[in-house]
Chain A
C-alpha cells in the first residue's frame, strides 16, 4: 500500500558508518529482501524505516511522506522482530490487540482517524488470528506456545493494524529448518494476500532467493546490487555479490587476458587457458589482469583445456561436488546428473561455455562483461 524510498540515507554511530548513502526504492506491493552478512547495515536500514534509529543523513520516504522526523508509531508500519518480542505477560489475543490500543486508525468510509472501539478491535484480532491459524490459541500466554506458534503471533500482531509496510528482521532464524521452509511459502502467500509492501532482512540467501521480488545486497553499509533473484544470480555486478550469492559459491580464479589470433583468452598460468566471450562495454586488452568467475554447475569435467587436480568429492544424494585444485585455487564442480568417474587424485580437464564465464576487475572488483 506504500512505497519506501531511501534517498542517500546514512547512519553513523560515532566513527562507524553503519549505512553509507543508501539509495533504494522499494516499490508498492514489493517483497524486498535486504541481504548481507552480519554487520552489513541491513538491520540498521530496517530500524531506520521503523523509526527506532534516527537517520544521520539523507531522506526516507514512506508513501508520499518524508518520515525522517515522524515518530515510529505514526509511520503506519509494523515490524516483526527476530525474537518475536511478544509480551510474555499477555495472552495471544492481548498481544495481537496491542497495536490497536494506543494508535488511531482511519476506518473505511470515515474521514478522520480515531481510536477503534472494543468491538472493532475484537473483530480485527479475530480476523488476524484466523488468518494465521491461531484461533484456538488466543487464550494462551506466549510461554505455552511453540516457536512456530510464537512466530505466527508476531505476524498476527503485525497484520492487525493493516500497515502500509511490513518490516521483518530475520523472522525465521529461530525456527528449525523444516518449519523455516514451510513458513517461507506462507510468508509469500501472506504477502500476496495482503498486497502490502514487505521489507525483509536476512543473511540467509535461500530466504532471499525464494521469497523476494527483488533482493538488495549490502556489504559494509553499501548497497552492492539490487534486482530480482534470478538477475542477481546470473549477472552479479561485482565480486562480493558473485561470491555471496550461490551455494556452493561461484569459483573465482585470477587470470591474465591474452589475445590470440584476435580471440580473447584467459591465461591461468600452467593450468591452461579459457576462451572468453566479448567483454562490455570495453573490449579486453592483451595483458589485462582479471578474475574469472564460473558457477559450480557451469563447470564441466572433460570439456576444455584447463587442468585441475581432484582433492575431494562430496556426495549429497541429488548432486555431487568435485572439489579440485586449479592453479592453487580451490574450485568446485557441481555434477547434477550423470555423475562422472573423477576420483580423488585424478587430473581432470575442466571448462565452461564462454557465456557462463563472469569477468571481474581485480582492483575495482566490478564486473567486466
Chain B
C-alpha cells in the first residue's frame, strides 16, 4: 500500500537527516540555546549558583558602554578592512587577468595569503609593525602602541590576510566575463576606464557583493589577529565586540557576554541581509 511505503520513505529520509541534525544541534542550536539561557541569568562569583535576571539584562547590556564601545570598534574595523580589501583584490585581479608570460607566478604569489593561517599572518605583521622591533615601527599611521592608530595596524594585517581569497574570487569573476563582450566594447570605442566601469564592474557585481558580505562577516568575527598583535590594547582601543565577548568568561560576566554574543549575531545577520537586499537591486546576474 502507498501509505506504508510513504511512511517507510519518510523514515529513511529522517534517518539520513540525523547526522547533520546532530552536528547542527551540537554546534549551533544547543550553543544558541545556552546563550539565550545564560543571557537570562546572572552567575555568582564561582559559577556555582545562578539567579534569573530576565530580559532586563538584555536591555542593560545592549545599551551599556561595553557593548556599544565594542560595536563601535567592530564597525570601525569593518570600515577599515572591507572596502580596502575589496579594492586591492580587484586591482590585483585586474593586474593578473592578462595573457603574459609568467603571469601564473604572479597569480600564485597574489593568492598565497590564502595558504597562511591567521597566526602566521599576524606574526608577519608583528615583525613588520611591532612598536619596539618592527621594520616599520616609525610609521605612526600604523603604530600599534598608539590608541588612535592601533586598529589600523591590525586592520592592515587583516586586509593582507584576506587579500588572497578576494584576489582568487575576483579573478575567477573576471575570467567569467566573455572575451567577445570586451571586444564588442572595444569596437564601440570604450577606453580601458569606460570598459571597466560600464562593463566589467557591472558584470562583476554578483562576485563583489558576495565578497563584501563575506569580508564584513570576517571583520566582525576577527579575533586571532587582535589577540596576537595587540591583545585588545593599547587602552582597549582594539577591543572589538568579539574580543570583549571572549573576555567575558568569568562566571560573573558570563551573562553579559552571552547577551553581547547574541547582539553580535543579530547585528551580523542584519548587515548580511541588508547588503543582500540593498545590493540585489543594483546587481546584474546576466542570464
Complex interface: chain B residues within 8 A of A114 (CB): none
Q: In the complex where A88-B203, A89-B202 touch, is A81 in contact with B191 (Cβ < 8 A)?
A: no
Q: Does B65 contact A (CB under 8 A)?
A: no
Cα separation A51 to B180 with both chains bound (whole Å): 13
B-contacting residues of A (Cβ < 8 Å)? 50-52, 72-73, 77-79, 81-83, 85-89, 98-99, 101-103, 142-143, 157
Q: A73-B189, A87-B199, A89-B203 are in contact. Are A81 and B184 (CB under 8 A)?
A: yes
In the complex formed, the residue of B with least CB distance to A169 is: B180
- Nearest Cβ in chain A — how far from B169, in angstroms? 19
Q: Is B181 an interface residue (CB 8 A)?
A: yes
Whether B102 is near chain A, meaning CB under 8 Å from some CB there, is: no
- The residues of B that contact A51 with a CB separation of less than 8 Å are 187
The SS class assigned to the B binding surface is helix
CB-CB under 8 A from A99, the residues of chain B are: 187-189
Docked complex Cα distance between A181 and B199 (Å): 33
Q: Chain A residues with Cβ under 8 A from B186's Cβ?
A: 52, 72-73
B190, CB-defined interface residue at 8 Å: yes
Number of interface residues of B (CB under 8 A): 19
Which of B188, B199, B203 has a CB less than 8 Å from the CB of A103? B188
Q: Would you list 25 pairs from A and B whose C-beta atoms are within 8 A, ordered by A residue?
A: A50-B187, A51-B187, A52-B187, A72-B187, A73-B189, A77-B187, A79-B184, A81-B183, A81-B184, A82-B180, A83-B180, A85-B180, A85-B184, A87-B185, A88-B286, A89-B203, A89-B286, A98-B188, A102-B188, A102-B189, A102-B190, A102-B191, A103-B188, A142-B287, A143-B286
**Which single residue of chain B is at the shortest CB-CB distance from A95?**
B184
B190 contact set on A, CB distance < 8 A: 73, 102
What B residues does A102 contact at CB under 8 A? 188-191, 194
10 further contact pairs, Cβ within 8 A, besides A73-B188, A88-B284 = A50-B187, A51-B187, A77-B187, A78-B187, A79-B183, A81-B184, A88-B203, A88-B287, A89-B202, A142-B287
What chain A residues lie within 8 Å of B287 (beta carbons)?
A: 88, 142-143
